[in-house]
Amino acid sequence: AQSVTQLGSHVSVSEGALVLLRCNYSSSVPPYLFWYVQYPNQGLQLLLKYTSAATLVKGINGFEAEFKKSETSFHLTKPSAHMSDAAEYFCAVSVDAGNMLTFGGGTRLMVKP
Amino acid sequence: NAGVTQTPKFQVLKTGQSMTLQCAQDMNHNSMYWYRQDPGMGLRLIYYSASEGTTDKGEVPNGYNVSRLNKREFSLRLESAAPSQTSVYFCASSEVGRDRASYEQYFGPGTRLTVT
């Protein structure tokens, strides 16, 4: 069975600072990996996904993530935080198209002016 | 396209009452899912349906039943609500069998359920 760990349930950065949200996974087979973003009182929106093509994945709103098999990690980064990035971010893993997603516990990102 | 829609948006139930959460998608997806979201626990899969006419249990199925009414609709029923079922419920859909680069799940806006 697969699992996902997101280190840090809350992360606070200043506007303009680097955003780094950590995600580690466990999977016995090559995984699909996803980052979703949830704005207050809304559903989940796909930010980016890794599906075995390039290991550096670019997503929407300037976010990117790098798949590192040796570290079983898929950390999310953004060079410069914006106030509008304040939201909850979820890392998720699936081992097969059509199979269930397993989510991490989520990281709430706060951006200070 | 509306994507994935859910009704109702909010619901308050008393312990022991029953209700059905409705979900519909207009993307012609084969697979549909029900998740619940609780603070600090991410989203956990309740039930899923890989195709019309099939349903399977997820991680936390106890206290719930589902019906895949047709390809578009997937409902979640609470027969006798309990306070532990207070949560936000999300429906999602995806295509099965597409190439890896295309696979993703699309989520509805959620239903906030409170059981008192």
Residues forming a β-bridge with A32: A94
Size of interface A-B (CB pairs under 8 A): 70
Q: What is the pLDDT along chain B (116 residues), one digit of tens a residue?
A: 789 999 999 999 999 999 999 999 999 998 899 999 998 888 999 999 988 889 999 989 999 999 998 999 999 999 999 999 999 999 999 886 666 556 788 999 999 999 99
Do residues A56 and A108 touch, judged by C-beta distance below 8 A?
Answer: no
SS3 label, residue A1: coil
**What pLDDT is stored for residue A94 in this prediction?**
84
Cα–Cα distance, B46 to B61 (Å, whole number): 5
pLDDT reported for residue B100: 59
CA-based angle B85:B61:B108, to the nearest 5? 70
Compute the CA torsion angle A67, A70, A72, A73 (nearest 10 deg): -40
DSSP B38-90: -TTS-EEEEEEESSTT--EE-S--TTEEEEE-SSSBEEEEESS--GGG-EEEE
Residue B109, both tokens: 């806006």
**Interface contact A90, partner B, CB < 8 A:** yes
How many Å apart are CA B32 and CA A10, to the nearest integer?
30
Q: Give the integer Cα–Cα distance in Å for B114 and B9.
A: 11
Mutate to test the interface with A, among B23, B88, B89, B105 (most CBs of A within 10 A): B105
Q: pLDDT value at position B46?
A: 96
Nearest C-alpha in A relative to B48: A100
User: Which chain A residues touch B101 with a CB distance below 8 Å?
Assistant: 51, 53
- The proportion of chain A whose per-residue pLDDT surpasses 70, expressed as a percent, equals 96
User: pLDDT of A12-32, one tens digit each?
Assistant: 999 999 999 999 998 877 788
- At residue B39, the pLDDT reads 85
Give the per-residue pLDDT at A97.
54
Nearest to B31 among A4, A90, A98 (CB): A98
Higher pLDDT, A109 or B94: A109
> B42, A52: Cβ pair inside 8 Å?
no
pLDDT of residue B67: 97
d(CA A90, CA A23): 9
Instruction: Write down the pLDDT at residue B2.
Output: 80
Q: What are phi and psi of B77, to 5 degrees?
A: -115, 135
A3 contact B CB<8A: no
Q: Is the pLDDT of residue A44 over 80?
A: yes
| Predicted local distance difference test score (pLDDT) of residue B14 | 97
pLDDT at B95 (0 to 100):
83
